[in-house]
Amino acid sequence: MTVVATACRIPMINSMTAYASASSDQELGQLSWEMRAVNHRHLDVSMRLPEEFRSLESDCRDIIAQHVSRGRIEALLRFQPAADSMAAGIHVNEALAENLLAAHAQLCDLLAVEAAPDVQAWLGWPGMIEQDAPDLKPLHDSARQLLHTALEQLCAQRQREGSHISALLTQRLDSIAELVALVRGWLPDIRQQLQQRLHERLASLQADAEPGRLEQELAIQIQKIDVDEELDRLDGHIKEARMTLQQTEPVGRRLDFLMQEFHREANTLGSKSVDTRTSQAAIDLKVLIEQLREQVQNIE
């Protein structure tokens, strides 16, 4: 039966951490998958398979890649053979037994003794007991199908956690937008205070300054503290982050890059600050951005 993969790539944020398990009873025994997913920059799959299933490793890696694009995935397959399957197809190697009987009789003749064959010892003779190899293809097909089931559970948990992360990110972005709007509203008052301080400083020095010179100095000071561009870029980053959260493909790397841009603008805002309000706002921005970054680290 062909199984169609249901990937995690739907219009929502996916976490990279999750746990899932799935088991299935088969004629030859019980199959069970156990899967753990944690953070990682790329897709890194660690797989442990029983000896009978070693040939499935490449297929299983491809199946996992259909569902997950990023994170470290630990996949463990267990197989518990059914009790009756262990005895199926067991028979004695008659040709070997006959050769051993002939050798036993010949040895007895040479030694002129009579001795019964040691059946228990002969049962342990290499190759004496043979078992027909079972057809593992149905079991392998079931293992692949069960892997899809386990991955669907894993993805569902990643999506639930991702939905929670998305809500947290939206809250932080709203708080950042409010801070940016506050700082933008303070700018006219900050410029006016700067002009007043410059006049007061000149007055304290009892120096006369040409009006043109005073205006030039004021323009230079205002240019040094001008943060309009930084605020505009922060608004742009907020808008881009909101749009990124609505995309259908994995966005963890894109959001991680945006966090670096957020940090850069917040640092510049703090370095240009000449007002306690904007200094505190820059600190609050950094705290919010760091909270964003911590959550983004867990996004696929």
C-alpha 37/C-alpha 35 separation (Å) is 7
What integer pLDDT is reported at residue 4 of this predicted model?
Answer: 41
Q: Are 17 and 38 in contact (CB under 8 A)?
A: yes
214-268 residue pLDDT tens: 566 555 555 556 778 889 999 999 999 999 998 888 899 899 999 999 999 999 8
Q: What Cα–Cα distance (Å) separates residue 97 from each residue in 87, 107, 111, 115, 157? A: 20, 15, 21, 16, 58
169-204 residue pLDDT tens: 999 999 999 999 999 998 888 777 766 666 666 556
What integer pLDDT is reported at residue 289 of this predicted model?
Answer: 95
What integer pLDDT is reported at residue 203 of this predicted model?
Answer: 58
What integer pLDDT is reported at residue 10 of this predicted model?
Answer: 47
Highest mean pLDDT: which range of 7-11, 200-204, 270-274? 270-274
Neighbours of 17 (CB within 10 A): 16
C-alpha 165/C-alpha 244 separation (Å) is 14
What integer pLDDT is reported at residue 211 of this predicted model?
Answer: 57
93-139 residue pLDDT tens: 788 888 888 888 888 888 888 888 888 887 788 877 776 666 778 89
Q: Classify residue 53 by its DSSP letter.
A: G
Domains along the chain? 18-85+135-158 (3.30.230), 90-130 (no CATH), 162-296 (1.20.140.40)
The string of DSSP codes covering 128-144 is: SEEEPPP--HHHHHHHH
C-alpha 224/C-alpha 246 separation (Å) is 37
pTM above 0.85, yes or no: no
146-163 residue pLDDT tens: 999 999 999 999 999 999
What integer pLDDT is reported at residue 11 of this predicted model?
Answer: 45
10-48 residue pLDDT tens: 446 899 999 999 999 988 889 999 999 999 989 999 999
What integer pLDDT is reported at residue 172 of this predicted model?
Answer: 95
